[in-house]
Structure 1
C-alpha cells in the first residue's frame, strides 16, 4: 500500500521558490549594474584634488628653488708652482684680509727674487754712473760753447775797432777785411757749437731715458718676484669666513690652482632656479619673497643669467631687510617672484602639468551628480599655484586638478 508523503512535496516547492528568488535577485543586480553604466571608470574622491572656479584678483607669481650665496666670495689661487707646506686655518674659521691661510714653499721662487733684486741694483748703479758721465760731457760741451762765445765776442769788438781805424786811415782796409772774415768764421763756429749743445742735451735725455726704462723694467720684475715670494703665504684678501681649502699638506700645486675660498657671510643673496618657460615674465627689480625655512624675507631681482642651464635660468635676488639668525651660505630656500596683479579674473587652482596660455582638457563635475565630464578649457596667465580661466568654465564649477592621464581615453568618470 503506497503512502503519500506531503513533506517531500513541500520541500520541492520551497526549493523552486528559493531558486526563483535567487534568479530574480541576480537579474535585479544585473539590471542595477547596467543602469549604473559599467563603462564609466570609478575614482575615489579622497584620491583626487578638486578645485572650484572663482572670480577675483589674481597675483601672478613665479616660484623657484634656490640657495643662499655670498654676495662677495673670492677664490685664492696659487701664483706659482709650489708645494703646500702648512695649512694654518680650517674651513669655517673667520678671517681678516691679511690672515694667512696656508704657506707654500718653492726654492726657485726665492732664488728668482734674489736674482731680480741683484739685476735691479746693478742697473740702478749703472744708471747713476751713466748720469755722472753724461753730466761731465755736458759740462765739457758747455765749456767749449763758452770758449767759442768768448772768441766771437772778442772778434766782434776787434772788428768794430778796426772799422773805426780803417775809416780814419790808420789801418788798411785789407786788415779790416781780415777782421771781418775772422768774425764770420767765429759766428759759424758759434752756431755749430750751439746746435751741438742742443743735440747733446737731447742725447743725454734719450740715453738716460733708455737706462731708466731698463731700470723700471727690472724693478717691475723684482716686484713681481717679490710678490711671488710673498704669495707663498696665502692670505684671505677679504674679511669673511673661510669656506674651502681643497688642498692637503705636501701636495704639489700648479700656478692658477685654487687654494682657498673666502666669502663674506654677512652679505648674502638668493640664487633661484626659474623654469625657462616662465622667464618671459621675470624682469629686473620685481619683488621677491624668499622663504629661508626660518622666516620669509623680502627682496628684489638684481640679476638674470643670460644662459639656460638644464631647463632653468639663474636669477639673483638681493634682500631688502635683515636675514633671520642662523642662515648661512648654501642654505636651501624657495623664492616667489611677484610678476603681475590681475584684477577681477576667472581663476582656478593650477591643474597638474598644465602650462599657461594653452588649451587643456579637464574633468568638470556635473551639478548634483557624481559624474565628471571631460571639457576643453582655455587657460591664460598662470601663477605658482593658480591659473586664469579664459574659456570653458564658469564661476562655481568644480573641476579635477589632479593628474588623470591614466583615464586619458575616457570622457567621463564616476567620483565616489
Structure 2
C-alpha cells in the first residue's frame, strides 16, 4: 500500500531534521546566516522605499508648478479712446426758400450738382411783380425829369442874385480899402494913403525948418562980420534975402501941413459914409440871394424832388421784388435736394407748379468736407479737448476708418434725448481729414475720440495687476519663480494700464489673473495657442 503524502512529508522532514539533531554547531551557523540575509533584505527594502519616495516627491513637485501666460515688458504706445455715436454732416447746410409767391418758371440744377456763388438756380413767374417793377421804373424816370425841369426854371433868378451879390462884395471891398488908406478913388486926393501924405507934409515942414535955421545962422554970422568990417554990406544983404526966403518956405510948409490935416478929416467922414453904404448894399444882395434860393427850394422844385424821392423808393422795392424771382446760389457748394410736391413726396417741383413765399425750394451745402457731430456725456467731456485725434467708422462703409480732429466743443450741456435719463450731453464736432466720395450727409457713424495718446510707455494688461489694500503689484517671473513686485500705475483703459514705476523693459510678468498664484510659487510659461490656419 503506497505511503500517503502526509507520511512522506513527515519522513522527509525527519530526514532533513537529522543534521540538527546530530550537529548542533551547524544550526548556529544557519541562524547567523539568516540574520545577515534579513538585514540585507531590510537595507534593500529601505533603499527601494527611498527611491519610491523620491520618485513620488519628484512627481508631486512637478505637478505643483502653475502654468501661466507670461509676457516680456517692453515700451509700447498707450491710447485711451472715448467711443460715441455721431452723424455725418456738411459744415454748412442751408435751405433756400422762395422769396415771392408764384409759379415755378425753370429749375436749372439737380441734386449733386456743384455750383458757384451767384449761379442762377431757378426762377419764379409772377407777372404782377414783373409789371409792377416796370411801372415803378417809368414813374421814377418821369419824376426825375419833372424835378430837373423845375430846377432849370428857377436857376436864372438865383444866377442874377448871385451876380448882384458879387458886385456888392466888390464895392464893399473897395470901400474897406479906401477907408484903410484914408483916400477915396475919384476924389482927386491922389493915390497915397493918409499916412503917406502926413509923412510927406511933416518931412517938408522939417526940411523948411532946417533951411530957416541955417539961413538965420548965416545971416547972424555975416552981421557980426560986417560989424567988424570983415565983409561988404552986399553979402549981408544977400544973407538977409536968403533968410527971408527960408522964412517964407517954412511958413508955406507949415500952412500946407495944417491944410492937409483939415482935408483928411473931411475925407475920413466921406469914406465912413461910403463904407456904411457898401455894407448895406452887400446885406441887401445877400438877402436877395437867400430869397431866390428859398423860393426855388420851397416851390415847385422842392415838391418835384420830393415826388422823385418817393418814386425812387417805390422803384427800389419793386426792383427788389422782381430780383427775388431769380433764385441764386448764396455761396459755392453742392445741391443736396429739391423740394417735392406736397401731395406727392416722390415728385420734385416742376415748372408751372405753385409755390408760396417762404417755402423751401432747394437745399445746398458747402464743399468744405464733412464733419461729425456727436454727443459726449457730461462726465466724459473733461477728457475731450480741441485738436484731439479721432477715428470714424460706420456700417455704411465697412472696413474703412477715417481720421479727423476735434474742432468744436459746445459751451452748453443739453438734456439727453433719452427721456428716462437725467444726464446731460455736450455736442462735440469732429472735422474729417479727408472726405471720400462715398460719404453722404446724414450717415450714422461710430466715433472714437483719442483722449490719451502716449507713444512711449511701459504698459501691462489690466489682468496682470493685482490690487490689495489700496496697493498694486504684479508677479515678476525670475528663474521659474513668481515674485510680487509693487508698481505705481498711471492712466488706464479697458485693457491696459501704464506702469510709472516698479518695472523695467525686459522684466517677465504674469499676464493673467490667477487666484492660486502666491509669492515664491513655481510657474511654467503657457504654450501659445497656434494661429488658426487660413482655409
Residues 58 and 347, structure 1, Cα contact 8 Å, conserved in 2: no
**Cα distance, 1:260 vs structure 2:** 0.8
Structure 1 CA distance for aligned equivalents of residues 435 and 155 of structure 2: 69
Q: Any stretches of 5+ residues in structure 1 without a counterpart?
A: 1-54, 350-379, 400-416
Secondary structure class of the residue paired with 1:277: coil
Secondary structure class of the residue paired with 1:124: helix
Change (3 A) 1:257 1:161: same
The superposition leaves residues 229-288 of structure 1 with CA deviations (integer Å, 9 ceiling, x where unpaired) of: 232132334343321222434554443332111123562222223333322221211111
What corresponds to 1:64 in structure 2? 84
Q: Does 1:246 align with 2:358?
A: no
TM-score w.r.t. the length of structure 2 is 0.46
What corresponds to 1:327 in structure 2? 439
Secondary structure class of the residue paired with 2:94: strand
Corresponding residue to 1:74 among 73, 94, 102: 94
Change (3 A) 1:151 1:267: same
Residues 458 and 498, structure 2, Cα contact 8 Å, conserved in 1: no
Q: Does 1:337 align with 2:457?
A: no
TM-score w.r.t. the length of structure 1 is 0.57
Q: Any stretches of 5+ residues in structure 2 without a counterpart?
A: 1-72, 191-258, 342-348, 418-423, 464-489, 500-509, 516-535
Change (3 A) 1:217 1:304: farther
What corresponds to 1:193 in structure 2? 285
Change (3 A) 1:269 1:130: farther
Residues 459 and 496, structure 2, Cα contact 8 Å, conserved in 1: no
Residues 78 and 498, structure 2, Cα contact 8 Å, conserved in 1: no
What corresponds to 1:396 in structure 2? 512
Residues 79 and 231, structure 1, Cα contact 8 Å, conserved in 2: yes
Residues 332 and 367, structure 2, Cα contact 8 Å, conserved in 1: no
Secondary structure class of the residue paired with 1:71: coil
Secondary structure class of the residue paired with 1:76: strand
What corresponds to 1:303 in structure 2? 408
Residues 94 and 364, structure 2, Cα contact 8 Å, conserved in 1: yes
Structure 1 CA distance for aligned equivalents of residues 306 and 384 of structure 2: 55
Structure 2 CA distance for aligned equivalents of residues 210 and 288 of structure 1: 70
User: Highest Rg: 1 or 2?
Assistant: 2
Residues 116 and 221, structure 1, Cα contact 8 Å, conserved in 2: yes
More helix by share: 2
What corresponds to 1:315 in structure 2? 428
Change (3 A) 1:242 1:150: closer
Change (3 A) 1:271 1:133: farther
**Cα distance, 1:57 vs structure 2:** 6.7
What corresponds to 2:212 in structure 1? none
Greater CA drift, 327-336 or 190-199 = 190-199
**Cα distance, 1:301 vs structure 2:** 0.9
RMSD (CA atoms) = 5.0
Corresponding residue to 1:231 among 315, 324, 328: 324
Structure 1 CA distance for aligned equivalents of residues 298 and 400 of structure 2: 70
Residues 64 and 275, structure 1, Cα contact 8 Å, conserved in 2: no
Q: Does 1:222 align with 2:334?
A: no
**Cα distance, 1:148 vs structure 2:** 2.6
What corresponds to 2:47 in structure 1? none
**Cα distance, 1:215 vs structure 2:** 5.9
What corresponds to 1:255 in structure 2? 357
Change (3 A) 1:154 1:329: closer
What corresponds to 2:200 in structure 1? none
The superposition leaves residues 334-389 of structure 1 with CA deviations (integer Å, 9 ceiling, x where unpaired) of: 2211112475577649xxxxxxxxxxxxxxxxxxxxxxxxxxxxxx9775x55879
Residues 140 and 315, structure 2, Cα contact 8 Å, conserved in 1: yes
Secondary structure class of the residue paired with 1:243: strand
Structure 1 CA distance for aligned equivalents of residues 408 and 306 of structure 2: 45
Change (3 A) 1:121 1:184: same
Structure 1 CA distance for aligned equivalents of residues 279 and 444 of structure 2: 92
Change (3 A) 1:73 1:186: same
Residues 369 and 435, structure 2, Cα contact 8 Å, conserved in 1: no
Structure 2 CA distance for aligned equivalents of residues 187 and 220 of structure 1: 46
Structure 2 CA distance for aligned equivalents of residues 226 and 61 of structure 1: 57
Matches within 5 A, 1:6-405: 58-129=78-149, 131-133=151-153, 135-149=155-169, 159-162=184-187, 164=189, 180-191=272-283, 193-194=285-286, 219=312, 222-248=315-341, 249=349, 252-265=354-367, 267-291=369-393, 293=397, 295-307=400-412, 308=414, 310=417, 311-320=424-433, 322-341=434-453, 348=462, 385-386=494-495, 396-397=512-513
Residues 492 and 498, structure 2, Cα contact 8 Å, conserved in 1: no
Residues 265 and 329, structure 1, Cα contact 8 Å, conserved in 2: no
Residues 78 and 453, structure 2, Cα contact 8 Å, conserved in 1: yes
More strand by share: 1
Residues 163 and 176, structure 1, Cα contact 8 Å, conserved in 2: no
The superposition leaves residues 50-107 of structure 1 with CA deviations (integer Å, 9 ceiling, x where unpaired) of: xxxxx98752221222222223333212222333345454433444445443332223
The superposition leaves residues 7-29 of structure 1 with CA deviations (integer Å, 9 ceiling, x where unpaired) of: xxxxxxxxxxxxxxxxxxxxxxx
